[in-house]
Chain A
Amino acid sequence: MADQEMRQVFARLLEQAMEEDLRIITIDADLAKANATFSLREKFPGRALDVGIAEQNMASIAAGMTSYGFRPWIGTFCCFVSRMADQILLSVGYAGRNVKIVGTDPGITAEINGGTHMGVADVSMMRGIPEMTIYEATDAVQLQMAMPQILAYEGPMYIRLARRQVPTVWDASMKFDLWKAQILRPGKDVTIVANGIMVAEALEAAELLAAQGIEAEVIDVHTVKPLDTETVCASIRKTGAVVTCENANILGGLYSAVCEAAAQYSPARILPIGIRDRFGEVGRLPYLKETMGMTAQHIVQAALQAKEIKN
């Protein structure tokens, strides 16, 4: 599975879900080919819709379809999820509809689609919507374990997915709980909280820190809302030094969530790695990670700094 694109894995999981549950339908806004969900149309006539390039319409149509017991999944790029802000807030959220919203190409993974296509505000926007759950897949192995739990949850959820291949850090022997953050590597000196593509960077940073005799605890916060405050704050209490790593604007996303929790339950110095309140730009991932300060090396520097401030 590691050699497969996330969108392929996702589409196959969705196909399986549609086979098992007739209430599941999908709606796209002309991006089914980009998101690998196009083939669902042939397999499930009438249950895989395309409303054209009209995201707002898509969100409200999905909400309406729940009136007959359907469980719609709508999909677009993360950058265009922001277009549906008010529809997700009212038609989906306020109305309490069980609609799953899938955003792909998060943050810098939009690569050569460039700055206009880099979702930087989608996570902060979604976090501001009451009752919204936000899950970001770390890799294909985890996504496969997450899918049954996502399907079982009856409520609005934002699912953020890379489209292409991502490094595999989970293995199938691990136990996945949608509502619990996962400690991927235990440590006592510094806490590194990460999600999405930044988990692999965080683990690499932990290796580099280990070479310096520093034991970093790496936590995968795949579900940034509701935040697993218990796991995160317990680690923070233990280490007293924290770095958060996310592929989204650090304002309103994982950094904010962790700071909010820590401020209440386990005050500490917390340093952010991520998109630092700036727009994206065109480029390949290695360049973008470097220019945005999102490499393992950057995480190491931040971890050392966090430890220094603590001491």
Chain B
Amino acid sequence: MEATKKIELQETARAIRWGALRAISNVGSGHVGGSLSVADALAVLYFHQMRIRPEEPLWAERDRLVLSKGHAGPALYAAMARRGYFPEDWLDTLNAPGTKLPGHGDMRLLPGIDMSTGSLGQGISCAVGMALAARLTGSDSRIYTIVGDGECQEGQVWEALMYAAHSKLTNLTVLVDYNRMQISGQVADVCDPAPFAEKFSAFGFAVIEVDGHDPAEISDAIDAAKANTERPTAIILHTKKGKGVSFIEKKMAANHSMRIDSGDLRMAKKELR
């Protein structure tokens, strides 16, 4: 990736972080950490890799993204707003009564959300269904899904992986946001799904481990996934919960969610804008 492109995507990721925080601050609390950790991957997907038409969100030949870790909705909305799916001021309606932007994305409320998610483990199966369907229709569109590391404690994730590899769904790319924290504490302490690379590989996936905050590494891994004609690819994103805002990173070392007030937002602004 060219240096200017990388800088541009880093800037985009910062804007996504800012948008997510701004949205969350309006309600006072939300899934801050898991939204910030996945911002770089969303920047690469929505601003570099995915074939999409924001002005035509239901375009049949679009690439699809299923945010299986649905709780990162605020980051997804921030990415979509910046990409032009809807006005950025809609971000201020997050979780407000009657909003099109509930904390977990709802495809019936917001065109561009490719699948409603929120109950963990289901989105990845939905993505497998999309990949099967794309192949069946002869479409060359690609399917991306982002799962959480804690989410991989759900048995359904492994059912989905097993069938995806069995079906040789080379049009499917699974991104794992390995940010190491879940509600009860460290993922490794609660019920450790690691080692991801070995397990995904044993299930029949090509596996690429990257710095989940480096747009160039993420994008190169997606290029490699596209080039793989044998197996579906899993990209393990090594990430940090709360990434990009130092005081949030610190707090996220021990917490899954946190409150965000206007003072916090001002502090975050210094680092994000």
A203–B139 Cα distance when bound, in Å, is 53
Instruction: Digitize B122-164: 1 where CB-to-A-CB distance is under 8 Å, 0 elsewhere.
Output: 1101111111111011010000000000000001100110110
Given the interface pairs A63-B126, A67-B130, the reply to whether A54 lies near B159 with Cβ below 8 Å is yes
- Taking a contact as CB atoms under 8 Å apart, the answer to whether A61 and B128 are in contact is yes
A56–B122 Cα distance when bound, in Å, is 8
Q: Given B60, B126, B137, B139, which contacts A60 in the complex, CB threshold below 8 Å?
A: B126
- Taking a contact as CB atoms under 8 Å apart, the answer to whether B129 and A64 are in contact is yes
Of the four ranges (under 10, 10 to 19, 20 to 34, 35 or more), the interface on chain B belongs to 20 to 34
Q: Given A52, A56, A70, A90, which contacts B136 in the complex, CB threshold below 8 Å?
A: A70
For B118, list chain A residues within 8 Å (CB). Answer: 90
Q: How many residues of A contact B (CB 8 A)?
A: 30
A96 at the interface (CB under 8 A from B): yes
A70–B122 Cα distance when bound, in Å, is 19
A145 at the interface (CB under 8 A from B): no
Instruction: Digitize A56-73: 1 where CB-to-B-CB distance is under 8 Å, 0 elsewhere.
Output: 110111111111111010
For window 90-147 of chain A, which residues contact chain B by CB distance below 8 Å?
90-91, 94-96
A178 CB to closest chain B CB, in angstroms? Answer: 24
For A57, list chain B residues within 8 Å (CB). Answer: 125, 128, 156, 159-160, 163
A5–B121 Cα distance when bound, in Å, is 37
A41 CB to closest chain B CB, in angstroms? Answer: 14
B127 CB to closest chain A CB, in angstroms? Answer: 6
A169 CB to closest chain B CB, in angstroms? Answer: 38
A137–B66 Cα distance when bound, in Å, is 36
For B107, list chain A residues within 8 Å (CB). Answer: 95-96
Instruction: Digitize B85-122: 1 where CB-to-A-CB distance is under 8 Å, 0 elsewhere.
Output: 00000000000000000000011100000111111011
For B159, list chain A residues within 8 Å (CB). Answer: 51-52, 54, 56-57
Interface of A is mostly: helix
Max chain A C-beta neighbours (<10 A), residue from B119, B126, B128:
B126
A228–B235 Cα distance when bound, in Å, is 51
A66 CB to closest chain B CB, in angstroms? Answer: 8
A65 CB to closest chain B CB, in angstroms? Answer: 4
A47 at the interface (CB under 8 A from B): yes
- Taking a contact as CB atoms under 8 Å apart, the answer to whether B162 and A60 are in contact is no
A21 at the interface (CB under 8 A from B): no
- Taking a contact as CB atoms under 8 Å apart, the answer to whether A70 and B108 are in contact is no
For B125, list chain A residues within 8 Å (CB). Answer: 56-57, 59-61, 64, 87, 91
17 examples of A-B residue contacts, CB within 8 angstroms: A54-B159, A59-B125, A60-B156, A61-B132, A63-B115, A63-B126, A64-B115, A64-B127, A64-B129, A66-B133, A68-B136, A69-B60, A86-B122, A90-B122, A94-B116, A95-B107, A96-B107
Q: Which residues of chain B have a CB within 8 Å of any CB of chain A?
A: 60, 64, 66, 106-108, 114-119, 121-123, 125-134, 136-137, 139, 155-156, 159-160, 162-163
Q: Which 8 A-B pairs have the closest CB atoms?
A: A64-B129, A60-B125, A64-B126, A61-B129, A68-B133, A57-B159, A54-B159, A95-B116
